[in-house]
Every structure is written in structure tokens, then in C-alpha cells.
Chain A
Amino acid sequence: MKLIKKILRTIKSDRLLLAGCIGICILLFIVVAAPLITEYDAKLFGPDALVAPGDPAHPLGTNHLGQDIWSMLIYGTRTSLMVAVVASFISALLGIIIGGIAGFFGGWADRIISELINVFLMIPTLFLVLLIVAMFGSSILNIMIVIGLTSWPSNAKLMRAQALSLRERTFVKSAQAMGENRRQILMKYIIPNGVFPVVANTTVGMANAILLEASLSFLGLGDPTVISWGQMVYDGKQYLTSAWWIAAFGGVAICLTLLIFYMTGDGLNHVLNPKHGKAGE
């Protein structure tokens, strides 16, 4: 109870974090309550194609196949959040392990991994993801895994810095003196204590994953069996002059979701490094 109260107080102390958390709650609600707040199945090809927004039956209109745009937006949330969570989980896991090893063990391992991280941070992920998805098939599972496998370097960089400073701390030194082996120290002390910046970064990672999936869909590399916002924009491109709403609303949904994740991330960073708001001496 005390912990929950403390978390709530922290969230309330930062406006961005508060807004972000409320936004995430709304997104989660949409994911869970999708069937309750939509009238049609998003995959249902209705009889009315290209209905303009404002129609009593379809408030946001329908697309060229008669699918209800509102339902597609709502069900698309599931896809986007799934991609976000799975991809950023893989990426965080890899980043924590790789960065933790580099920072904690140091020496050659660190030098090689650091150089690798820098190189990976430099080369554009989009092309690599695109290449792999084109080769291995564009199922949503593939997409999520590939995004996860290619986005770990920023997490690894953060974790490495954490591990570097943590291994000089007294409690790690004393664990070493107590004879715990290096793997135990890494797992028991370094990773649990250094993981917070990675968590804050993960919100940004989630936003990037959503954006990458949408970009892939827009290039025609999306999974055709799921409803996705990127795909809506892709479909809408053909009907831009006659039915602007198909492309427009999908993009709005992406934009709002990214805003929510960015606000949460920035808020978490403010709370984790409280450099602001202190009176000078």
C-alpha cells in the first residue's frame, strides 16, 4: 500500500508523467474493452464502402472495403501495443544483458561491445528491419522479433554506463569480498540496481517500435492478417483524393500514441534525474 501511494505521489509530481500515465491507462482500456466500444468487427467487410465521416452508422466513415474506420482504430490499438510491448521487451532484455556484461566485466569485452553499440547506433535500423522482414516474411511475430533484435543498442549503452558506475560501489565490492562469483554479482546486484534508466528508455523504445511497424506497413511489408494503423495509412494512400479519412485517422492514432509514450518517457526521466526545480545557493 505504502509503495503504491509513493508511486502515485511520484506520478502526480510531474505533469508530463501524469498525462502519460493517464494516456497509457486509456490505451489499456481500449485494448481490453475493444468489443464494447465498437459496433462492428474491424475485419468485417460491410456493404457500405467509402462512407464519409459523420455518417450515423459509421461516425469516422468506412474504407474501400467497407470496414468501419472507428473499429479499425480501436482494434489497431491492440496490434500497436502488442508490437510495442513484445519488441521493447526483447530489446530491453538484450540491452540489459549485453550492456551489463560490457560494463561489469570491462576490458576487451567492453571495448568490443562498446564499438559494436556505437556502430549499430549509427547505421539506420529501418533498412535492416526492412531487409530482414522482406527475407523472412512479414508475419506480425516476425516483425516484432526483428524490431526487438535490432533496437537493443541504446538500452545496452545505458545499461553499460550503469554497470560501470555500480561495480565501483561498496555493496558490490563487499559482495565480491564475500566470495560471490561474477555471474551472481551481475544478476543479483548490477542488473536489478541499474535497470531504471533502461525502463525509462523503454517507453521511447515502445514508441519507436510502433513507428517502425507502421513504416513497414506503409511500405507494404505489414502483416495483412492483422488490423494496423500503418496499414490503414497505406490503404488510404490510394484513395487520398476521394477518401482522405482512411489515411488521416490511422495517422492521428499513431501520433497520439507516440505522444503518450514520449510524455511518459520524459516524465520518468525528470523524476529519475531531478536536476530541475531546485533553488540555487
Chain B
Amino acid sequence: MTKYVIKRLFSGLITIFLVFVINFILIHIAPGDPVSVMMGKDNNDPELRAALMAKYGLDQPLYVQFYRQLTTTIRGDLGDSYIYSRPVVDMIAEKIGPTLLLVFPSALIALIIGAAMGILSARHEGSVIDVIFSGLTYILNAMPSFWLGLMLIILFATRLNLLPSSGMIDVRAGYTGFRYILDVLRHLALPLGTLVLINIPYYYRIAKSSVLQVTNEEFITTFRATGMSERKIFNKYVFKNAILPVVTVFGITMAFLISGVTLIETVFAWPGTGRLTLTAINQRDYTVLMGMYLVVSVMVALTMIVVDIVYALLDPRIRY
């Protein structure tokens, strides 16, 4: 088990290192010299230029630059945003809360609903429910998330006037305590709902196919031959075996979700890292963008490691 975790950690580190390398290469091949890339457009403060040159050793040979940047990054210094003249790490840190509030609950809810639908479909293969679920998820799968979000706004905010369409709190109301939580939940409903809907098809597909596959395994036949009830066979033996691929898909989906949430935050003006990204794009604030890319990949790598460990706990065949 320890060996397995170490191996996973190691490949996570490789991932993050690779992202760092990509960032490094991009700075050097981007139009303009690295200093101007880091300083941002229309900025020509000679003092800042000199400071950046010194910090990253940009007048030194490439390998020295690489080493300097690597060490500053490892120390948690992702550079400064030129617009706000603030450390990128701080900016991301204060915005990441709302983003995580969207990402993790939506992943979990989508997992539960999608897997439940998939299991239902598999148990009644060919039935009306199966056909409806399959069709529905097939269409959902083809919808661009940001567009679905906009359509939900039109329906629930503009037409029905049921839910707020943007932001995380009602600034004017200034709620506190329980009312505040309720307000956040109301604002959360649409962006969360969009993300859940977009992610359901992945879980549906994998849950359905793995339940169907496990049901055909020989050990299920053996259990039937013992006279064990179908319900017990399913609840205990089919379920645990079929859930394993779903766990794997959870990790992969999280990777998409963590980056895809940027689009949804843009749609709903959600005050998370997505907004930060969008501003950075508009201002060509590359340090922030590269910082985000690195942070996102760290998050993905961490999720993958956690998912792999959970998998290993569920599947005894991996423990070595």
C-alpha cells in the first residue's frame, strides 16, 4: 500500500513538473522577450524590468533561469500580477474557496445521480426508463456547458424568476447567519445544477456498462446457483464490483471539471478563480494565467492521488 501511494505521488509530481516545464517554454517562445511577457503589455517600467531580470536571472544562461524559476515556484512564489501588483498565489488563494464550493459538491451530486440512473438503466436494460435515460444523457453530453448555463438562466431566472442568475450573495440584502447560508445556496443552485447536468452522462455511461458487465461475471452465476436472493447479490456483490470503474471516472471527470468550471463561473459571474482567469485573459496578465494553469494541475494531480488511494482501498488486488 505504501509503495503504491509513493508511486502515485511520484507520478503526480511528474505531472506538476511537466506543467512547469510547459510554462517555462511558453514564456521563452512567446512573442516578445520573457521580461515583457511577465510584465504585461504596455508596461515598460525600467525598475520593474531590472527587478524581474535579477529575480529570475534572465540575463543568465537558460539552465540557470530554469533552476531559478523552479526554486522560486517550489517556494510557492508564482510571480506577481502586473495589473494588481500582487502575488499571484495570494490572488488565487482568496478566490479558490468559491470555486471549490462549486467543484466538489457538483462532482459528488453528479456521481450519485448519474450512477443511480446508470444502475437503474442496467437493471432494466431495454425498458422505457433505459431508453429515456440513454437518450437524455446522450443529448446532455453534447451540450456545451456554458450554453446550458445560459439557457437555465433564461428559464429559471428571466422567465420564472425563481432563482438569482449571478453572483454568490445578494450584496444589497447583507444577510447574516442562517439567512446568509440560504442566500448562498440560492445563488449556488443554477451554476451547481449546470455542472451536475453536464457531468451526469459520464457517470451514467460508466455505471451502466460496468453493472452490465459485472452481472455477466461467472461469480454472479455462482451466487445465483446458491439460491441467494437477487437483491442480496446486487446490493452486495454487483455493487461493489461495479463501483470501481465509476471511481476511476470520478478522477478523470474532476480534471475536466476543475478547468471547465471557469466557463460556468463566467456565465454566472461567480466570484471564483474563473473570474480571475477571465480578467487575466482580457488584460493579457500571463503570470496569473500561468499561475492558474499550475494551480489547476496541482489540484488535478492531488485529486487523482486521492482517487487512486480510494480505489486501492476498495479493490484488494491493488494493495501490495
Contacts and interface: CB of A to CB of B under 8 A. Distances in A.
Task: State if A and B touch, Cβ cutoff 8 Å.
Answer: yes
User: How extensive is the interface on chain B, given as a class?
Assistant: 35 or more
A126 interface: yes
B150 interface: yes
Interface string A107-149: 0000000011011101111111011101111000000000000
A247 B289 contact: no
A251 B153 CA distance: 14
Nearest to A218: B146
Contacts of B301: 122
Interface SS of chain A: helix, strand, loop or mixed?
helix
Contacts of B267: 237
Contacts of A244: 154, 158
B76 interface: no
A240 interface: yes
A125 B19 CA distance: 11
Interface string B1-30: 000000000010011001100100010001
B259 A122 contact: no
Interface string B140-166: 011110111011011000100000000
B260 A259 contact: no
A241 B158 contact: yes
B180 interface: no
B11 A118 contact: yes
Nearest to B290: A131
B20 to A, nearest CB: 11
Contacts of B258: 124
Contacts of B15: 119, 122-123
A130 B143 contact: no
B263 interface: yes
Nearest to A126: B259
B229 to A, nearest CB: 24
A115 B267 CA distance: 36
A66 interface: no
Interface of A: 115-116, 118-120, 122-128, 130-132, 134-137, 207, 211, 214-215, 218-221, 230, 233, 236-237, 240-241, 244, 247-248, 250-251, 254-256, 258-259, 262
Interface of B: 11, 14-15, 18-19, 22, 26, 30-31, 37, 138-139, 141-144, 146-148, 150-151, 153-154, 158, 255-256, 258-260, 262-263, 266-267, 277-278, 281-282, 284, 286, 289-290, 292-293, 296-297, 300-301, 304
